[in-house]
A and B are shown apart, each in its own frame.
Chain A
Amino acid sequence: MHDGWKEKTMSEFHDPANVVNPEHADHHIITPKTYILVFATLLAFTGITVGAAFIDLGILNPVVALGIACFKAVIVILFFMHVKYQSKLVKMTVGAGFFTFIVLITMTLTDYVSRAWGLW
């Protein structure tokens, strides 16, 4: 049995899912037209975020700036980085990365906020 295993190379173990899995559909090529649209949107929102910084919105200034930054990051990830057209595995991997980052922020802040509870 052991010898029989050794004789087979990796490619002789065939997983039908690798061929028929719809996730492995034809590779999608994003056209330059989409890229130009994304590029124009990113530039427009850069202008908007700079303009918003000169208007006094009080507490909303950082919220607006970070909201616009998040929006820009999402369209870069979806289109420039092709995640919109990737398999569920890649999408979940990307999601897991940002989720872990939010865990980092939340748990660290929980510690710092509660440490001096009532003293601020």
Chain B
Amino acid sequence: MDNVIVATRSHTHEAGASEEHAHVALPQHRHHFETEQQQREAGTFGMWLFLLTEIMFFGGLFMSYLLYRNWYHDAFVVASNQLSIKLGAFNTAVLIGSGFFMALGVWAAEVRKKGLLVLFLVLTTLLGLVFLGVKYDEYHEKWEKHHIPGAHFDVSEFVNPHAYGIKEEPLAPDMAQKTQVFFSLYFAMTGMHALHMIIGIVLLGWLTYRAHRGDFSSGYVAPIENFGLYWHFVDIVWLFLFPLLYLINRHPGS
């Protein structure tokens, strides 16, 4: 009979609630959940369903990258070598640090330490901003070199690399044009990733304000925990973008 849903004796709602679920006392507990754990699991489940749609959203971009990299391999190699591994690796470390502080923030909310929670949320935000700052610098360099796809795109570094002191094999003009495909995907993927980070930083500001007000230091962790899931998901996207865009084309011909 364990799995049978039964209507309990008719009684007033308030009396029934305190009789059967005396352990649920938190004001954020919604009446349509029987226990706090059930409410929490439902929230986590819902957040993961949202993240699944995000996996498929970024998945389409990764799929395009995989396909075009195989089609225009030579163009992808030289275009990818335009990116700075140093900046990419630095940003990876910054983002891992940001995720680390976010994870500590969830812990601080669990153990109800308000001051630590606010501190960790602020550190998460700061490292997120550092990441975006470096990204801005990288985009700006592409802008100056006319490596943004479109009418002003400049292929001269790819058809005549030796004139620019670049140790690459020159590309035929038609293949050199395909470097625009790489940069389109580069801007689409890192741009969508950066947009997710900007949205995350806005949410972090709101969560920090509420954490400071004391909303999350009396056992109500769900908003912090579910935002943490989002923030870590954005980290994971970058963990794949970094090797795909910056690293795997290091060796022409491989």
Contact = CB atoms under 8 A, between A and B. Distances in A.
A56 B251 CA distance: 7
A100 B247 CA distance: 26
Contacts, number: 186
Contacts of B239: 69, 72-73, 76
A97 B52 contact: yes
Dominant SS at the B interface?
Answer: helix
A32 B110 CA distance: 12
A55 to B, nearest CB: 9
B6 interface: yes
B92 interface: yes
Interface stretch (B54-62, B129-137, B160-168, B191-199): B54-62
B85 A27 contact: no
A76 B52 contact: no
Most chain A CB within a 10 A radius of its CB, from B37, B100, B243: B243
A65 to B, nearest CB: 4
10 contacts: A9-B13, A18-B38, A27-B110, A46-B89, A54-B250, A61-B250, A80-B102, A80-B103, A100-B55, A109-B67
The 10 closest A-B pairs by CB, nearest first: A65-B243, A97-B52, A53-B247, A62-B248, A39-B100, A24-B37, A18-B34, A10-B32, A101-B59, A15-B5
Interface of A: 7-20, 23-24, 27, 29-32, 35-36, 38-39, 42-43, 46, 49-50, 53-54, 56-59, 61-62, 65-66, 68-69, 72-73, 76-77, 79-82, 86-87, 89-90, 93-94, 96-98, 100-101, 104-105, 108-109, 112
